[in-house]
A and B are shown apart, each in its own frame.
Chain A
Amino acid sequence: MDKISVKVCVGTTCFVMGGASLQELNDIIPKKYGDKVEIAASNCLGLCSINWEYSKAPYVKVNEEVVANATTEKVLEEIDRQLGI
């Protein structure tokens, strides 16, 4: 199975609306999943500028799946779901 790629948006909108605290994923993910999951920070994913969509920031992408209003728990849940745990 391919690695799961997690992209945490650290664009300004996401960072301001709560994404700053998602940086803890950088520590949690390697510990929890080893090399099954790859995590990277990403500049604006382009999701926040559509209409009032900033109100659902911060965004995280787990492969192609978009997690809106992202929290650490939500992102981990989505990873688990895709890994089939």
Chain B
Amino acid sequence: MNNNAGQAIRLKKEILVRIIKAFLSEDFKEQTRLIPYDMRPKGMEVPYRCCIYKERAIIKDRTIAGLGFAIEEDNETTLLSTYAQKALERTEISNKNLTVLQAACKGCNTNRIYVTDLCQGCVARPCESSCKFGAISIVNGRSVIDDSKCKKCQMCVNACPYNAIVKITVPCEEACPVGAIKKDETGFASIDHEKCINCGRCTAACPFGAVHEKSQIIDILKEIKSDKKVIAMIAPSIAGQFPGNIYQLKTAIMKAGFDDVYEVAQGADITANNEAKEFIERMEGDQKFMTTSCCAGYNQLIEKHLPQIKPFVSDTKTPLFYTAEIVKQEHPDAVTVFVSPCVAKRAEGFDNPNVDYVMNYEELGALFVAKKIQIMDCEETKYTKEASKQARNFGYTGGVAESVKASLKDEDKIKPCIISGLTKESIKQLKQYATNGECANGCNLVEVMCCEGGCIGGNATINSVRTAKKQIDNFTANSENIPKIE
């Protein structure tokens, strides 16, 4: 993560804290209206942009996303206090989970191949001869690219002995594995929600922090404030995200206003066992491999872009599915909130009637900050059902395959192949497996995680992948093993 992106993420979190504080104050609307002015008061030195007004405009946009609205739909004249009021009145959430902050986006050039001043106008002209599309000509002794012919193949970039030709990239476009985000004619990035698999890569890739998740935090706080029972379901990866252990975390979450907390790892135990049974059945049939099905980003990829792999994908439901089912059975009157590492799960939550809201780790963190809750000062509270070690390790790469393996009496039946991160390349690889009907090197269980490192690499995580994994391993070292299937 570069420093700028780090600062942008910090800014997002600070705004979330302020929105929550505003909600908890006497006058939500007015306090929300003041957020840009409180953060950039008169006379303050301007940290990032050209002037204080632009900074405030950007903070306003970020606040709109934090209140759960699409920035694209803002007409610039609507006051933040009006948005706050609308958020209070809103009774439904939308399934367009990402929104782009236009004022911050303007900063980058469009994707293209560009000849720099380093061009020596040489005699050999390897650039010209390397181009298969006739896009390069020499004008006044300098190489010039005709953008209408250029296919961005980068042959010239590699051919130039002076490294004079460069590829200018738009980070979000580069990062998106399915071509769902593009700079349009206006120069702003926009998201094609039909194509978007909610992997969240663009949010992490943009150095300006211009892509935002639309938060449901106000909707959740409203439920908490009403007398309803609100239950948090925490994803396994959370064990590496906050100070203290998950028992102290449970107390902290309850202090923040929730009535109960369930470990989604509880559902992961069911997922692993079911997947193991299914694996045996499929391998005894005529299939050569099976892929896992717990990652929401991967499931949307299959739906929208990779239907050919469907026959090989496990029919087992996600840990969240089973957990939410249990919670709604035990508490039919409760409002359920999934606490998530990523934006992809927002889409899964939206489609599942047992999941009412999704709150990401940054938002939960902001809630702790706003309410001044110190997790390490909290007592431990036990969970009604303890999850297994393998289920608790679901959130990092390799963990799911390991849990399926550990569910079998004969663990050697499984030869796992791990996809850690959905990129253009790994999607190609999956396509290949689907076409061939088998995967490379005799592997028979493909674990697919949308994010590098697994869920601990999700777009809304707080900790780095390395330290998060360490923290989880320390915690799960003493957990019980997963039961084996018959």
Contacts and interface: CB of A to CB of B under 8 A. Distances in A.
Given A18-B10, A23-B464, A12 B376 contact: yes
Interface residues of B, number: 29
Given A18-B6, A55-B17, 18 more contacts: A11-B376, A12-B242, A12-B365, A12-B369, A15-B243, A16-B13, A17-B10, A17-B13, A17-B365, A18-B9, A20-B464, A21-B464, A43-B243, A44-B377, A49-B372, A52-B38, A71-B3, A71-B6
A21 B242 contact: no
B469 to A, nearest CB: 12
Contact of A12 (B10, B375, B467): B375
A21 B6 contact: yes
B185 to A, nearest CB: 37
Interface of B: 1, 3, 6, 9-10, 13-14, 17, 38-39, 241-243, 252, 362, 365-366, 368-369, 372-377, 462-464, 467
B374 A43 contact: yes
A54 B14 CA distance: 9
A68 interface: no
Q: Is the interface of B mostly helix, strand, loop or mixed?
A: helix
A15 B462 contact: yes
Contacts of A12: 242-243, 252, 365, 368-369, 373-376
Interface string A1-33: 000000000111101111011011000000000
B369 A16 contact: yes
A33 to B, nearest CB: 21
A44 B374 contact: yes
Across the A-B interface, the 5 shortest Cβ-Cβ residue pairs: A16-B365, A20-B463, A23-B467, A13-B369, A12-B368
Contacts of B1: 21
Contacts of B14: 17, 55
Between A16, A44, A48, A54, the greatest number of chain B beta carbons within 10 A of the residue's beta carbon is seen for A16
Contacts of B17: 54-55
Contacts of A16: 13, 242, 362, 365-366, 368-369, 462
A45 B463 CA distance: 20
A10 B375 CA distance: 10
Contacts of A52: 38
Nearest to A20: B463
A43 B377 contact: yes
A21 B243 CA distance: 13
A52 B17 CA distance: 10
27 contacts: A10-B376, A11-B243, A12-B243, A12-B373, A15-B462, A16-B366, A16-B369, A17-B14, A17-B365, A18-B6, A20-B462, A20-B467, A21-B1, A21-B6, A21-B463, A23-B463, A24-B464, A43-B374, A43-B377, A44-B376, A48-B369, A52-B38, A54-B17, A54-B369, A55-B17, A55-B39, A57-B369
Contacts of A21: 1, 6, 463-464
Contacts of B374: 11-13, 43-44
A49 B39 CA distance: 17
Contacts of B3: 71
A21 B242 CA distance: 12
A55 B7 CA distance: 12
Nearest to B467: A23
Contacts of B252: 12
Nearest to B461: A20
